[in-house]
Amino acid sequence: MRCLLFLLLGAGASVWGQSNVEFANLREDVRLAVQRVGELSLRVEQLERENALLKAQVDAAAKTFATVAQVNETIADVNRALKSALVASRAETLEVVGKQIDRLAQQTDLALQTMARNQASRTPPVFSEEFPKEGVSYTVQKGETLATIAKKTGARVQDIINANKLTDPSKIQVGQVLFIPGGK
């Protein structure tokens, strides 16, 4: 290509009769153009290498990354596995709770049967009607027992129990009103 340019330049110079300066300027312009073409050729080669490298990287990346469809499929698989595990967990929980309820029901039945037997074996207390029919009302104060009340009022403990039909004399309560037979 360079030879062709020089021939054209040489022929042109003799045909048109240009001066040496013009010819020198033209030669310099051709030299600069040839140099620029060489630089551009190198740049094109460099860009082609870079392009080839980028293509190789894209191909490698395509092999290492999952597609959206693959991600969606994996998520669907995980969801199915979770639902299956949840169903199994619920079944196990219901089984454990069912066993616990059965055990509690058996314990409750046993306790009720024991209470029923104890109630059946107890004879109800028999209260005597042998106590004075006259007396006073007395309100139980904090810390008092039937014995202390009887001592205060001059009554007998058994008369207070019979008159008030107290099944458990140890369970009198503050504020409870009692009839104190023969009491003052």
Q: Could you tell me the CATH number of the domain that includes residue 157?
A: 3.10.350.10
Percent of residues in the chain assigned helix, strand, coil, to nearest 5: 70, 5, 20
**Strand pairing report for 135-139 and 177-181:** antiparallel
Could you tell me if residue 127 is inside a domain? no
Is the separation of the CB atoms in 160 and 181 below 8 Å?
Answer: yes
Could you tell me if residue 129 is inside a domain? no
Count of domains observed in the chain: 3
Q: Return d(Cα 64, Cα 62) in angstroms, integer.
A: 6
Could you tell me if residue 12 is inside a domain? yes
Q: pLDDT at position 2, please? A: 54
CA distances from 136 to 2, 103, 184 (A): 145, 53, 7
Q: Which of 23, 43, 62 is the last residue of a domain?
A: 62
Q: pLDDT at position 107, please? A: 92
Helix (H, G, I), strand (E, B) or coil at 177: strand
Q: State whether 27 and 75 are in the same domain.
A: no
**Could you tell me the residue range of the domain that residue 40 belongs to?**
2-62
Could you tell me if residue 167 is inside a domain? yes
- Mean pLDDT for each 10-residue chunk of the chain (184 residues)? 53 58 90 92 93 88 77 91 90 91 91 81 80 92 94 93 90 93 83
Question: H or E segment at 172?
Answer: none
Could you tell me if residue 130 is inside a domain? no
**Could you report how far apart the first and last alpha carbons of the chain are, in Å?**
147
35's tokens? 């140099």
Q: pLDDT at position 142, please? A: 94
- The residue written with tokens 């306790």 in the block is 111
Q: State whether 78 and 58 are in the same domain.
A: no
Q: pLDDT at position 20, please? A: 87
For residue 125, the 8-state DSSP code is P
